[in-house]
Amino acid sequence: MRAVCLALPTNRECADTVTAVGAEAAHAARRFGVRVHLLVLDSAEPAARARHAAAAAALPPVESVVVHHLDEDAQRAFLRAAIERSGLPAQEKLLDLMLPDAVSYGACTNRAFLLAAALGCTSVHRRDSDSRYQWHDGEPVFPIEYELATIGLKAADAAAAVTEHTLDPAHADKPVALVGASFIGELSVDLGEIRELDPAVYHDVVALWAPTGATEEERRELVAESFVGAGTEPFTADRAVLGRPDIWRIDMCNIALDHEVYERVPLPPATDTIGSDYFLHHLVHDATLPGVTHNRHIVNYYTPERRTGAGFTAYQERYAKFLLSMLYLHPVYAEMERAGDALLDEHHHVRPEVIADHARRSAATDRAENHRRLAELDRCYRKLGGRYAEFADHLAAARVRLLDEAQADIEDFALLIDAWGPLVRASKAVPADRLPW
């Protein structure tokens, strides 16, 4: 029986989401005859973790659905066992990259990848704590419907499960590596208040993530496309396109990845950086691997802590680090786009050593553009005034640290890619008495 991993990483209270994702797991097992490992990776505070544990325990038992609710202690024990078994050097460094003492969107998903490997899963299907399912005709609109119908199949065989087909026949023998959709509702990045306060400042703040040398027209297009997902129109009927995946319409709250991708290249483990978990979108697209882009969009909403006090400061800093990360990621994306299917070997598998080399070389990029980004961000926040001006003071004091961290993050990514193959193999071989379930 095929095993798949439905993963829900969280660092906030989301008991209702645990219940809802449990229902999706049950649907998947019944509909597709697969074993579903529902994996809740819990970094929330103790009271919220207790509520998550209660919600997981209260899920109706379903044959072929196995629930794993793992706190950070359990995750750390597994990671330590895998890292020790890998025989890799710098083991404490690797443990810190996999489970840092800070928020890391990439690292939490990397942990799901290694745990899925240990569980024998062929795909990972990720959801987020601050999202809900749409409903249509009295039923929840589960994204896993298209994910399990196509992920991992040869593209020619997956064509029967979609409503539209735009794939070049040259890629028909390649496997479907990514299946996903987007979200409806609020912006995926919490900049809506800036847009309301001053649309011109919003344009300038969002345009800062454009590549160096982008034209004004390219910047306007980027701003128009960024963080809006699928807008606000609710689901009415299925649409799924097999082709090169539309990575602007696929979000990490609503994605499935084939193991042949994530077992070869991890996500950047950058801390306190939004968007650090989107690297594989680019890799799949640029390597000419097929994908399915569908319209079973998640409903996005915001939890209140990111809009007040320390939560506001932390979130805005994560956005600033996202902008700084682009200095190093854009050159990697450009190299991957130029390489195309040369990123793949003769078996259509990604060549990780090529990606690691791109990342390592990009770390030497001159920082001048990031100095400019921080200066422009400072200007924009001070123009907004109030708590944004206060954040500008915080940003000025953190300037050197943030510049250094952005460079260290890409260096750490290259290091982790080098270690990833041995880590995956070691995860699959961790003895049963050291597994956290």
Mean pLDDT in residue range 222-232? 89
Provide the pairing of β-strand 298-300 with 131-133. antiparallel
CA dihedral 144, 147, 152, 153 (to 10 degrees): 120
The CA distance from 356 to 374, in Å, is: 27
pLDDT digits (tens, 9 = 90+) for 155-168: 999 999 999 999 99
Residue 183 and residue 229 in contact, taking contact as beta carbons nearer than 8 Å: yes
Report residue 20: phi and psi, to 5°.
Answer: -65, -45
pLDDT at 382 over 90: yes
Residue whose tokens read 């854009």: 330
The pLDDT of residue 433 is 78
Q: What percent of the chain has pLDDT over 70?
A: 98
- Give strand pairing partners of 149: none
Regarding predicted confidence, which is higher, 304 or 53?
A: 53
The pLDDT of residue 189 is 79
pLDDT at 385 over 70: yes
pLDDT confidence of 187, banded at 50, 70, 90? confident
pLDDT at 228 over 90: no
Least Cα distance to 81 among 120, 117, 42 occurs for 117
pLDDT at 43 over 60: yes
pLDDT at 306 over 60: no
The CA distance from 386 to 60, in Å, is: 49
The pLDDT of residue 145 is 98
Provide the pairing of β-strand 35-42 with 183-185. unpaired
pLDDT at 234 over 90: yes
pLDDT at 279 over 80: yes
Mean pLDDT in residue range 266-292? 97
In the chain, DSSP finds a helix count (H) and a strand count (E) of 17, 14
pLDDT at 25 over 80: yes
* 412 residue type, one letter: D
The CA distance from 113 to 427, in Å, is: 10
Cβ neighbour number for residue 167 with a 10 Å cutoff: 22
pLDDT digits (tens, 9 = 90+) for 308-320: 678 899 999 999 9
The pLDDT of residue 304 is 61
